Amino acid sequence: MSGSLIIQQPGNSVVTDLGRFRGPRFGLPVNGALDQFSARAANILAANADNAPLLEITALDFRMQASTDLLIAVTGAPLTLTVGGRECPQWEPVSVRAGETVAVRRITGGLRSYLAVHGSVEAPALLGSCAPDTVIGFGLRLSEGTELTTSRSVGPIRQPYFDLPLFRLGLTRPEFSSRAVIDVTDGPDVEEFGDTAELLFNTEYTVSARSNHIGLRLGGALPERQSSAEVLSRGVPVGAIEVPSREELLVLHRGRGVTAGYPVLAVVTSRSLDTLAQARPGHTIIFRKTTVPEATAKHRAAIRELENLRSRVSTIFALLGIGKDPGWPELIPAAGS
Amino acid sequence: MAATPNPTPVEIFESGDSALRVVASSADTEANWSTVHSLAQWLETAGADGVHGAVPTYDSLLVEFDPGVTSARQVRAFVLLGLRQLEHVGAPARTPREFSVPVVYGGEYGPDLERVAEHEQLSVEEIIALHTAKSYVIRCLGAPAGSPMMDGPDFPLPVPRLKDPRLSVPAGAVAVAGRQAVIAPAVAPGGWCVIGQTPLTVLDAASEPLVPYLPGDLLRFRQIQPEEFADYAGRKLEAAR
């Protein structure tokens, strides 16, 4: 049975996925969830494929109403989640009954949260992805009254002990701090900056309000390129750190233009791009040098953690009958209760 | 794309944990371009687990991958395998198509035309004449949104980028920077000098492919008058042959 929900207060929210990986060869940025770990975790907790369409809610309060029974999971920046007025845990599956309102309020400490619905939500795709692309005007930005359809509805899971949470899957949550340490590897053009490249590691940078999904602009002491020769446009990776002006450092994120003619000083690691996705204007950024093998190892450790989560979720959900036959799973009260 | 029996040697640079930059650095720019584009095509056709794709430009290629599935070391080996394959079999040839692009130069359509003329120490008319003088090879699809990146006109000097990039450049803007030329398919910020604007629709997000041209195709600009601009409105850029 399919399910549905209606957006009541969109705040700043879109339907996205992990990105348009076929985009860059056509000159389109990859885009997709800026905090990939949180997005994957939300989908895993909702027993979806990692890359399933889900909601990315940025900074502002959000509210939706379930038209059918749903199972959801909310991850990302710390916030207050209520379902039908009851406060519910983040980073755990949450059962929602038809007619109940799901509210996400007070996103603090970070910037972006992710809301996945079991059975995912339907959204138009371009080159195999629903990720919004603001430059070409593609994607599903949510507004009041938007109705989203999910491929499945999940009967309410009843908790016989009122004060205990339904699930305790125990994923280690990322840390959220107003002073973020960001790992970077040397960029392919680091030598063009001579000794000034070291400034990157000796400076505390401040996130500017002009930052967005295309890139973060950081104020602070700027490394300076030692030559002024024109660079032919070339592909730049997500995470590239450039110094395009004398005002700010630019750290490209998933919405970045695929090609540019600025030298790449350093590249933020995959793990730290998730951290940057949560940096708010005014937050402090400190860069730390690492190597590609170390960055790869850290990324894989995070993926392993998500894989462990997936196997715990699938065990529990199989016991509850979620994702299999539609039914009305009910926890059996312990003897004597 | 011309066959490449002998790809040029390349250098491979780390670009973070999810990408490599491959640079063809011979003295022959045509061979460099051909090498990186043939290699991009080979990588796409061959396919490897965890390799998302490749972005070829002039002399460089950005290969993007998922570090959870593969690694910089494995992708480097894959790229080198591709080069050896190209040495043996070459790349398939494709007949280039030609695109003709009407442009209104200067005024509100090309706010930087006079600045470029001044920098080049030429008249505005001479700049337009040079810009429309020949067909350009589309070298690659770039930012934003599949822009056709071309070798620029034969101006005496490279054109400097704007000191303060514009926050918004309209779709259809015809711009130059360095020794390159471009059309902006979509509204986006930009630091290139805008010398004109085409009324044609370049990018159609509702259709695949999003843009009608491929690297290797030819594009030629022709001047139209401001009063003709509206006549073309809503028309899509299409190949002449």
Q: Which of A37, A130, A136, A303 to mutate to test the interface with B (most CBs of B within 10 A)?
A: A136
Q: Is the pLDDT of residue A106 over 90?
A: yes
Q: What is the pLDDT of residue A159?
A: 60
Q: Is B233 exposed, middle or buried (0-12, 13-18, 19+ CB in 10 A)?
A: exposed
Residues of B in contact with A258 (CB under 8 A): 55, 62, 142-143
Q: Which fold has domain B98-232?
A: Cyclophilin (2.40.100)
Are the C-beta atoms of residues A277 and A182 closer than 8 Å to each other?
A: no
Q: What is the pLDDT of residue B233?
A: 85
Q: Is the pLDDT of residue A63 over 80?
A: yes
Q: Is B169 exposed, middle or buried (0-12, 13-18, 19+ CB in 10 A)?
A: buried
Q: Which CATH superfamily is domain A179-290 in?
A: Cyclophilin-like (2.40.100.10)
CB atoms within 10 A of CB A159: 14
Task: List pLDDT tens digits, range A117-139.
Answer: 999 999 999 999 999 998 888 99
Residue B191's pLDDT band (cuts 50, 70, 90): confident
Q: What average pLDDT does the segment B25-50 reach?
A: 92
Interchain CB contact of B208 with A (< 8 Å): yes
Distance CA B103, CA B82 (A): 40
Q: Is the pLDDT of residue B105 over 90?
A: yes
Say whether A246 sits in a helix, a strand or coil: coil
Cα–Cα distances (Å) from A165 to A86, A153, B56, in that order, read: 11, 21, 51
Contact criterion met (CB < 8 Å) for A25 and B161: no
Tokens of residue A182, six digits: 């960001």
Q: What average pLDDT does the segment B229-234 reach?
A: 92
Q: Is the pLDDT of residue B19 over 70?
A: yes
Q: What is the pLDDT of residue A323?
A: 65
Interchain CB contact of B69 with A (< 8 Å): no
Residues of B in contact with A187 (CB under 8 A): 15-16
Q: Is the pLDDT of residue B97 over 80?
A: yes
Q: Which of B21, B43, B177 is nearest to A292 (CA)?
A: B21
Q: Is the pLDDT of residue A331 over 80?
A: no
Task: List pLDDT tens digits, range A39-51.
Answer: 999 999 999 999 9
Amino acid in position B129? A
| Beta strand ranges found along A85-190 (DSSP E) | 86-88, 93-96, 101-105, 112-117, 140-141, 147-150, 179-186
Inter-chain CB pairs, A–B, below 8 Å: 162
The partner residue sitting opposite B141, judged by closest CB among A21, A27, A261, is A27
Domain extent listing, chain B: 10-89, 98-232
Tokens of residue B204, six digits: 């159609």
Q: Is the pLDDT of residue B143 over 80?
A: no
Long-range contacts of A319-323 (CB under 8 A, 24+ apart): A320/A157, A322/A47, A322/A71, A322/A118, A322/A154, A322/A157, A323/A47, A323/A118, A323/A152
Give domain B10-89's CATH architecture. 2-Layer Sandwich (3.30)
Distance CA A200, CA A290 (A): 13
Distance CA A40, CA B64 (A): 20
Q: Is the pLDDT of residue B5 over 60?
A: no
Task: List pLDDT tens digits, range A307-321.
Answer: 999 999 988 888 887
Q: What is the pLDDT of residue B103?
A: 97
The partner residue sitting opposite B14, judged by closest CB among A29, A185, A299, is A185
Domain extent listing, chain A: 3-174+303-320, 179-290
Contact criterion met (CB < 8 Å) for B210 and A237: no
Q: Is the pLDDT of residue B207 over 90?
A: no
Which residues lie below 8 Å from residue A80, measured CB to CB, with a gap of 6+? Answer: A87, A103, A104, A105, A106
Task: List pLDDT tens digits, range A177-201.
Answer: 999 999 999 999 999 999 999 999 9
| Beta strand ranges found along A92-178 (DSSP E) | 93-96, 101-105, 112-117, 140-141, 147-150
Q: Is the pLDDT of residue A160 over 60?
A: no
Are the C-beta atoms of residues A287 and A184 closer than 8 Å to each other?
A: yes
Give the residue from chain B lying closest to A293, CA to CA: B17
